[in-house]
Amino acid sequence: MKAIEEITEILDLLYKHDWDERNGGNLSYILKEEEVKEICDINNEIREFKYDFDLSYLVGKYFLITGTGKYFKNCLKDPENNLGIMKVKDAHTLSLLWGYNDGGRPTSEAPTHLKCHIERLKVDSEHRLVIHSHPTNVICMTHVHDLDSNHWTEDLWKMQTESIVVFPEGIAVLPWILCGGEQIGIETAAKMQEYRAVVWAQHGLFATGRTPDEVYGLIETIEKAAQIYMMTLGYKHYQSITNENLIELAKAFNLNYRHGIID
């Protein structure tokens, strides 16, 4: 049950940060077969979920996915009702092996998650995790900042020294688009070809990576930079991190950072 423990701990932390109020946010995690075997019988299909887009890239993989309408607040104490483990059985079918005990089904954002997994796996074979959350200051920034991805990347990099170290590829920003729909899934996944983090204006953040620590750390660092931006907004700025400082950092930490923003 180690995988369930590590994921429910992260869900609980996200809730306690106020980044996933009520049923806000959702998560999907690629599990290894040996991890699934520790939790349930991999040959015992409980129910099926059909999707009309092409899942063939993911066939054979196992996913832990939060349930639709479920609260992050409740996942730690009751994982079997709030989470489900599924195998991608064929190009249009997820087969439920564990969880959703009260008759639930995957999050409404599951198509977006699955499309993001496909694009991240194409660029990083070790990719495993997608977390959608509602970090407060990231959402605040989408009200008071333009929505240009390079402008966001530059401003977040300049808020604190850690930013460029943690997300050297930058951050992508999408305008307001209807959530739960097809278009937002396609546009988010397209950004995931180049970025691990995509902001949804006036909504939240999609963050991806290899491990719970990496993805949680990415969310924390982006949100911290956005918090510094919001807390200093409207004050006279006497100094900041310069382009030259960032280039010096990139050299010192050997960062493969996104070019065309500070140079």
Q: Which residues bind ligand 2HA (CB under 6 A)?
A: 23-26, 107-109, 132, 179
State the binding partner of 212 from Zn ion, ligand 2HA, none, CB within 5 to 8 A by kind: none
- Toward ligand 2HA, which CB reaches closer, 107 or 221? 107
Classify residue 51 as exposed, middle or buried by CB count within 10 Å of its CB (0-12, 13-18, 19+): middle
Binding mask 185-204 for Zn ion (x = CB under 5 A): -------------------x
Paired strand residues for 87: 62, 95
**In sequence order, what are the residues at sequence separation of 6 or more whose Cβ sits closer than 8 angstroms to the Cβ of residue 151?**
145
Least Å from the CB of residue 97 to ligand 2HA: 22
Asked if 63 contacts 88 with a C-beta cutoff of 8 angstroms, the reply is: yes
- Toward ligand 2HA, which CB reaches closer, 109 or 119? 109
Q: From CA 233, how far away is CA 114, in angstroms rounded?
A: 36
Catalytic site residues? 109
State the binding partner of 107 from ligand 2HA, Zn ion, none, CB within 5 to 8 A by kind: ligand 2HA
| DSSP-assigned letter for residue 41 | -
CB atoms closer than 10 angstroms to residue 238: 5
- Toward ligand 2HA, which CB reaches closer, 36 or 116? 116
Q: Tell me which residues touch Zn ion (CB under 5 A).
A: 204
